[in-house]
Amino acid sequence: MFRTALRNVLAHKARLLMTVLAVLLGVAFVSGTLVFTNTISDAFQKSSQKGFDNVDVAIQPHTADRDREERRPGHAPKLSQHLLDQAGKVPGAASATGSVSGFAAVADKHGKLVGEGFNSTGANYYPGPGGKDARYPLKDGRAPQAAGEIALDAKTADRGGYKIGDTVRLSVDGPVLEKKLTGVFTTDDGNVSAGGSLALFDTATAQKLYATPGEFGEIDVKAAPGTSQAALKTAIDKILPRDAEATTGKQLADDQATMIAQGMDGMKTGMLVFAGISLFVGIFIIANTFTMLVSQRTKELALMRAVGASRRQVTRSVLLEALVVGAVAAVTGLLAGIGIGAGLRSLLNGAGATVPDGPLVITPGTVVTSLVVGIVVTMLAAWLPGRRAAKIPPVAAMNSVHAVATTRSLVVRNTIGALLSGTGIAAVLAATGMKDGKTVLGIGAGLLLIGVFVLTPLLSRPLIAAAAPVLNLFGISGKLARQNAVRNPRRTAATASALMIGLTLITGLTVIAGSVQQAIDKMATSAIKADYVVSMASHTPLSPEVAKKLASAPGVTASSPLRMSASRIDGDHESLTGVDGKSIKELTKLDFTAGSFDGLTAGKAVVDESTAKSHGWKLGSTVDATFEDGKHGKITVSGIYKGNELMRGIMVDTTTLAPHQSVVNDQQVMVKTKAGTGASAKDSLSKALGDNPAIQIQDKKDISNDIAKAISLMLNMLYGLLGMAVIVAVLGVVNTLAMSVFERSQEIGMLRAIGLDRKGIKRMVRLESLVISLFGGVLGVGLGVFFGWAAGELIGKSLGTYEMVLPWGRIAVFLLIAALVGVLAALWPARRAAKLNMLAAIKAE
The nearest distance, CB 330 to another protein, in angstroms, is: 39
Smallest distance from another protein to CB 460, Å? 14
Q: Are 729 and 281 in contact (CB under 8 A)?
A: yes
Shortest distance, position 459 Cβ to another protein, whole Å: 19
The CA-based angle 785-787-792, given to 5 degrees, is: 95
Shortest Cβ 758–another protein spacing (Å): 7
Task: Give which of 138, 133, 146 is closest to 180, Cα–Cα.
Answer: 146
Nearer to another protein, 422 or 475 (CB): 475
Q: How many residues does the chain have?
A: 845
For another protein, give the closer residue by CB, 607 or 764.
764
Distance from C-alpha of 792 to C-alpha of 802, rounded to nearest angstrom: 7
Picking from 503, 497, 485, 472, the residue whose alpha carbon sits closest to that of residue 826 is 485
Buried b (16+ CB within 10 A) or exposed e, 485-505: bbebbbbbbbbbbbbbbbbbb
Torsion angle of alpha carbons 445, 451, 457, 461, nearest 10°?
-70
- State the nearest-atom distance from the C-beta of 471 to another protein, in Å: 13
Residue 307's identity, in one-letter code, is: V
Q: CB-hemisphere CA count at 13 Å for 337?
A: 36
CB of 475 to another protein, least distance (A): 6
In the complex, what is the shortest distance from the CB of residue 749 to another protein, in angstroms, rounded to a whole number? 8
- Closer residue to another protein, CB minimum distance, 476 or 710: 476
- In what helix (H) or strand (E) does residue 382 lie, and over which residues does it extend? helix 364-390
- What is the C-alpha to C-alpha distance for residues 666 and 697, in angstroms, rounded to an integer? 14
Of 668 and 745, nearer to another protein (C-beta) is 745
The backbone torsions φ and ψ at residue 335, rounded to the nearest 5 degrees and listed phi first, read -60, -45
- We find the least distance from the C-beta atom of residue 287 to another protein, in angstroms, to be 24
Report whether 703 contacts 527 (CB < 8 A).
no
Nearer to another protein, 466 or 476 (CB): 476
Q: Give dist(CA 567, CA 635) in Å, integer.
A: 12
d(CA 769, CA 829) in angstroms, rounded, equals: 10
DSSP 191: H
Nearer residue to another protein within complex by CB, 354 or 746: 746
In the three-class reduction of DSSP (H, G, I as helix; E, B as strand; rest coil), residue 576 is classed as strand
The answer to whether 600 and 581 are in contact (CB under 8 A) is: yes
Query: Which CB sits closer to another protein, 320 or 748?
Result: 748
Q: What is the spatial distance between Cα 728 and Cα 825, in angstroms, rounded to a whole number?
A: 11
Q: Under DSSP, is residue 465 helix (H, G, I), strand (E, B) or coil?
A: helix
Report, in Å, the least distance between residue 454 CB and another protein: 25
CA–CA separation, 600 vs 287, rounded Å?
70
Q: Taking the complex as a whole, how short is the minimal distance between the CB of residue 484 and another protein, in angstroms?
A: 7
Supply the minimum distance, in Å, between the C-beta of residue 747 and another protein: 6
d(CA 126, CA 143): 9
Nearest CB to another protein, comparing residues 412 and 473: 473
Q: How far is the CB of 306 from another protein (least distance, A)?
A: 25
Which residue, 475 or 676, is less far from another protein as judged by CB? 475
Handedness of CA 298, 300, 301, 302 (dihedral sign): positive
* Beta carbon nearer to another protein, 35 or 834: 834
**What SS3 string covers 510-567?**
HHHHHHHHHHHHHHHHHHECCCEEEEECCCCCECHHHHHHHHCCCCEEEEEEEEEEEE
Rank residues 40 and 751 by Cβ distance to another protein and give the closer one. Answer: 751
Q: Which amino acid is at 343?
A: G
Binding positions for another protein, rule: CB under 8 A? 475-476, 479-480, 483-484, 487, 746-747, 749-758, 760, 838-839, 842, 845
Look at residues 713, 752, 717, 577 and name the one whose alpha carbon lies nearest to residue 656: 577
Measured CA to CA, the distance from residue 77 to residue 219 in angstroms comes to 13
Neighbouring-strand partners of residue 558: 672
Smaller CB separation from another protein, 652 or 771:
771
Instruction: Report, in Å, the least distance between residue 495 CB and another protein.
Output: 18
Q: What is the DSSP string of 206-220?
A: HHHHHS-TTEESEEE
Cβ of residue 488: shortest distance to another protein, in angstroms? 11
CB of 746 to another protein, least distance (A): 7
CB atoms within 10 A of CB 674: 10
Q: In 227-248, which residue ranges form alpha helices assigned H by DSSP?
A: 229-237
Nearer to another protein, 475 or 659 (CB): 475
Of 231 and 838, nearer to another protein (C-beta) is 838
Closest approach of Cβ 479 to another protein, in Å? Answer: 7
Distance of closest approach, residue 18 Cβ to another protein, in angstroms: 25
> For residues 1 and 476, which CB has a smaller minimum distance to another protein in the complex?
476
| Nearer Cβ to another protein (180/487) | 487
What's the rounded Cα separation, in Å, for the pair 164 and 180? 8
Q: How far apart are CA 473 and CA 470, in angstroms?
A: 6
Q: Where are the beta strands (DSSP E) in 233-309?
A: 244-248
Nearer to another protein, 64 or 404 (CB): 404
What is the sign, positive or negative, of the torsion defined by CA atoms of 497, 501, 507, 508? positive
CA dist., res. 37 & res. 164, Å (int): 38
Give the span between the Cα atoms of 643 and 610, in whole angstroms: 8
Least distance (Å) between residue 451 CB and another protein: 28
Cβ nearer to another protein, comparing 174 with 749 = 749
- The alpha carbon torsion through 806, 812, 815, 821 (nearest 10 deg) reads -130
Beta bridge partners of 567: 574
